[in-house]
Structure 1
Amino acid sequence: MSKLFSSFKLREVVFKNRIAVSPMSQYRAIDGHANDWHMVHLGRFALGGVGLVYAEATAVERDGRRTHGDLGLWDDAQISALKPIAEFISKEGAIPGIQLSHAGRKASERRPWHGETPVDQEDRSARGEDPWQACAPSAIPYAQGWPEPAELTDEDIQRVVQSFGRAAERARKAGFKMIEVYAAHGFLIHQFLSPISNQRTDRWGGSAENRSRFAVEVAKSIRAHWPEDYPLAFRLSATDWLDGGLEVEDTVRTAIALSKAGVDLIDCSTGGIGGKERPRRMKIEEGFQTPFAEKVRKEAEIATMAVGFLWNPQACEDILQAGKADMIALARELLDDPNWPLHSAGTLGDDTSFESWPIESGWWLMKRDRLLRKLGLRSD
């Protein structure tokens, strides 16, 4: 069996393979509530054979949403719509996970297809969606043309920390078995971690230890509300790709601190702190973020997930075989082909007769394959 399709265990949760659906925001929620769209969107990945299905960035506070369409778990009433989704994913053999988030200064943003700019008068008139006040560790706008966020007080910070813990409790009640905290791509926790966005001089800023304090306190808060047997992950931007920003050595130190606070895996992404323009240092190519997962795994001695421009099953297998990461996360490749895991099992020789497919479709595909071969219409 390939490494990609071998099982993997974190705490007492066993993933049938090492493929994860990276959280992908759909912007289809209504006041934070999931609906049929989310059931179909996430359910198809479970049917497609992944080991871990992450629900998208889910706000722990109403004002922590990025857009009006974000999922939320700031209210007990939001549990019921997520519960059947987690149940379906579990029944199909995948582990249901959820990403908890707070957008910080990136809050009150328009959906991507409306421009990825701050909510404005057009949104109010066209969709009845009003802007709201964003917050951040320091009163520094996300990018040129963005409003100045309110600087969080110590009391505000403590409230947000507790909001993550309460959202974790709701995630448990909804049936999720793994949490990933969104601490990358310029969201609130990343804003605390990066010296570019955090210019505080109190215990939440300044030194690297102080800038990581918020992330560590969030991890502790979640662990206080999350079952001991269930794993906890953090998605980190391993580098800001900007001079004066986070470098991978900073992320290694943060990963060590998070591990001590009960975090089990680091999902290694990059960038996102300095506006929408791609930093000049950032060279995008196949698997370009994998070296960060490798370094964090080795030096922080924690499990990691590789993500970003991965689509070739053999390349993913090679990453795992070389010990560069423990799991592989895919996003847009799975949007293009929700059955990518099932097809990859065939490519890597783990399944040559559709046995890993749901029997309702695998039986028919096997029958078609036999007929085509018998008629000489397919030889591969």
Structure 2
Amino acid sequence: MAPSASLENVPAANTPYFTPAQDPPAGTALHPESAPTLFQPLKIRDLTLQNRFVVSPMCQYSADDGHHTDWHFAHLAQYVIRGNALTIVEASSVLANGRITPEDSGLWKDSQIKPLKRIVTFAHSQGQKIGIQLAHAGRKASTVAPWIRTGGNSAVAGPDLGGWPDNVWAPSAIKFADGFAEPREMSLADIQELVQGFKDSAVRAVKAGFDVIEIHGAHGYLITEFLSPLTNKRTDKYGGSFENRTRLLFETIEAVRSVIPKSMPLFLRISATEWMEWNGEPSWTLDESIRLAKLLPAVGVDLLDVSSGGNNAQQKINLHPYYQVNLAGEIRDELKKEGLDLLIGAVGLITEAEMARSIVQENSNGNGGGSHPGTIEIEQENGQKTQADVVLMARQLLREPEFPLRVAHQLNVDVAWPNQYHRAEWRKGQKI
């Protein structure tokens, strides 16, 4: 006798191998009407995230000529199966000389599509979404992996280590710091090659099946270097004024947007400040980030991922748990004042359930907005007003890949777990 349909171990659709369907995907609130915003769905163009947890790109320095390996699959899969709505693959260089190290991820040639497609297929089989960050390291390229460096200092990767210290690009020939290569000022032809590289890599990302593309304009890499008057001393149309210093970014956005589907979200990560205001010279500041953010909706950017720093070795950061979240909140406030539709992502030191909840909570007096048993109230200036639409995390997920599931438990939100892990769910009220 044929088994009843109700007893079938239903397979995931559109997957070339058997894996059980996850319906709903892990991390989905089972009672969304009473869940806090953190566990409410978010629609971005045609993409819907079942919660507000996003995995930040995390460089692993473990690729083979830019190609992902089993390490990358194992690294990324742990976040996919544990309830993060969107996982973003690490900074992947659009040109070979744009890697931070010779072992960086890349998407500058077609052969790099296949291993990326493997993790994309797996993410989709779990009902989850996956993106990729496209990048060029600029003057911070051709170094060795961080665990090889001595005394915390960087070190140049020479040709014997697969590096390219004689072909490191920057807007101006200004070295980042000791232990980095001497960059050369990019020609107009180099700039055209770079923009084409982003465009071609975006085409490959679409072929791999990614749901989201993020342009890396943060942390002192090439686009950041063009934005900052400290590192961009050019006298042509790519240097000087705000309009000129942002020109490369807007050309890159236009190039990427032109080759991806209208339904596909486009993110941008920036450093909201260089943390160089102290030195009295013009630098990239929060005010310029706000000015930039106001221009992004019109060119097809859907979410601004707000980080900071990384462009100057002399930066002075006032470090506290909300040092970057507050930057995101200020940008979001200014956009809301003008009725501009741009989602905001907050990053950095998000390690606790109540902090994550409060950053994105939209209605402190409505369903799911009040405090939950066992959580800690946080003062308004530290996140009780809505600061962002999603939270992006990296180091906390390295320590605790199941962070979204733990947060749900601590906030008393019932969420779906992976079918195969259902016996591991914490008991109601269990302290963890």
TM over 0.5: yes
Residue by residue over 1:294-313, the C-alpha shift from the partner in whole angstroms, topping out at 9 and shown as x without a partner, is: 12222233210000011111
Unaligned stretches of 5+ in structure 1?
A: none
* Counterparts of 2:220 and 2:258, CA distance in 1: 26
Are 2:320 and 1:285 equivalent residues in the alignment? yes
Determine which of 162, 169, 173 is the counterpart of 1:129.
162
Are 2:300 and 1:262 equivalent residues in the alignment? yes
Aligned to 1:53: 87
Letter in 2 for 1:81: P
Determine which of 355, 360, 371 is the counterpart of 2:420.
360
Cα offset, 1:117, TM superposition: 2.0
User: Contact conserved, 1:240 with 1:272, CA < 8 A, in 2?
Assistant: yes
* Counterparts of 2:236 and 2:202, CA distance in 1: 28
Cα offset, 1:316, TM superposition: 1.3
Aligned to 2:211: 177
**SS in structure 2 of the partner of residue 206 of structure 1:** coil
Aligned to 2:135: 101
**SS in structure 2 of the partner of residue 182 of structure 1:** strand
Classify 1:379/1:54 alpha carbon distance in 2 versus 1 (closer, same or farther; 3 Å): closer
Letter in 2 for 1:314: E
Aligned to 1:348: 411
> What TM-score, normalized by structure 2, do the two folds share?
0.81
Alignment of 1:303-322 (within 5 A): 303-321=343-361, 322=385
Aligned to 2:57: 23
User: Contact conserved, 2:156 with 2:181, CA < 8 A, in 1?
Assistant: no
Cα offset, 1:145, TM superposition: 4.6
Residue by residue over 1:152-171, the C-alpha shift from the partner in whole angstroms, topping out at 9 and shown as x without a partner, is: 11111111011101101100
Residue by residue over 1:219-252, the C-alpha shift from the partner in whole angstroms, topping out at 9 and shown as x without a partner, is: 0000011111010011000000103311111011
**SS in structure 1 of the partner of residue 295 of structure 2:** helix
Residue by residue over 1:309-341, the C-alpha shift from the partner in whole angstroms, topping out at 9 and shown as x without a partner, is: 111111111111222100000100000010010
More off after superposition, 317-326 vs 18-27: 317-326
Residue by residue over 1:191-227, the C-alpha shift from the partner in whole angstroms, topping out at 9 and shown as x without a partner, is: 0001110011111010011101111110000001111
Cα offset, 1:146, TM superposition: 3.0
**SS in structure 2 of the partner of residue 209 of structure 1:** helix
User: Contact conserved, 1:216 with 1:257, CA < 8 A, in 2?
Assistant: no
* Counterparts of 2:431 and 2:133, CA distance in 1: 43
Alignment of 1:1-380 (within 5 A): 1-115=35-149, 117-120=154-157, 124=160, 128-132=161-165, 133-243=167-277, 244-275=282-313, 279-280=315-316, 282-300=317-335, 301=340, 302-321=342-361, 322-351=385-414, 356-362=416-422, 364-366=423-425, 369=427
Residue by residue over 1:253-306, the C-alpha shift from the partner in whole angstroms, topping out at 9 and shown as x without a partner, is: 11222322111111000001112x5x23x1111121111111222223321000
* Counterparts of 2:173 and 2:135, CA distance in 1: 20
* Counterparts of 1:294 and 1:241, CA distance in 2: 17
User: Contact conserved, 1:4 with 1:19, CA < 8 A, in 2?
Assistant: yes
Cα offset, 1:33, TM superposition: 0.2
Classify 1:110/1:17 alpha carbon distance in 2 versus 1 (closer, same or farther; 3 Å): same
**SS in structure 2 of the partner of residue 43 of structure 1:** helix
Cα offset, 1:130, TM superposition: 3.6
Equivalenced residue count is 362
* Counterparts of 2:90 and 2:163, CA distance in 1: 23
Classify 1:154/1:317 alpha carbon distance in 2 versus 1 (closer, same or farther; 3 Å): same
User: Contact conserved, 2:97 with 2:164, CA < 8 A, in 1?
Assistant: no
* Counterparts of 1:154 and 1:257, CA distance in 2: 24
User: Contact conserved, 1:293 with 1:304, CA < 8 A, in 2?
Assistant: yes
* Counterparts of 2:42 and 2:355, CA distance in 1: 19
Unaligned stretches of 5+ in structure 2?
A: 1-34, 362-384
* Counterparts of 1:62 and 1:140, CA distance in 2: 21
Cα offset, 1:120, TM superposition: 4.4
* Counterparts of 2:431 and 2:126, CA distance in 1: 32
* Counterparts of 1:186 and 1:22, CA distance in 2: 17
Cα offset, 1:369, TM superposition: 4.6
Structure 1 or 2: more helix by fraction = 1
Letter in 2 for 1:299: E
**SS in structure 1 of the partner of residue 330 of structure 2:** helix
**SS in structure 1 of the partner of residue 89 of structure 2:** strand
Q: Percent identity?
A: 40
**SS in structure 2 of the partner of residue 34 of structure 1:** coil
> What TM-score, normalized by structure 1, do the two folds share?
0.91
Residue by residue over 1:29-80, the C-alpha shift from the partner in whole angstroms, topping out at 9 and shown as x without a partner, is: 0000001111110011011100110000000000011101110000011101
Residue by residue over 1:337-374, the C-alpha shift from the partner in whole angstroms, topping out at 9 and shown as x without a partner, is: 100101111111112xxx51111111x225x859xx9x
Letter in 2 for 1:272: G
Letter in 2 for 1:303: L
Residue by residue over 1:70-109, the C-alpha shift from the partner in whole angstroms, topping out at 9 and shown as x without a partner, is: 1000001110110010111122122101100000111101
User: Contact conserved, 2:143 with 2:180, CA < 8 A, in 1?
Assistant: no
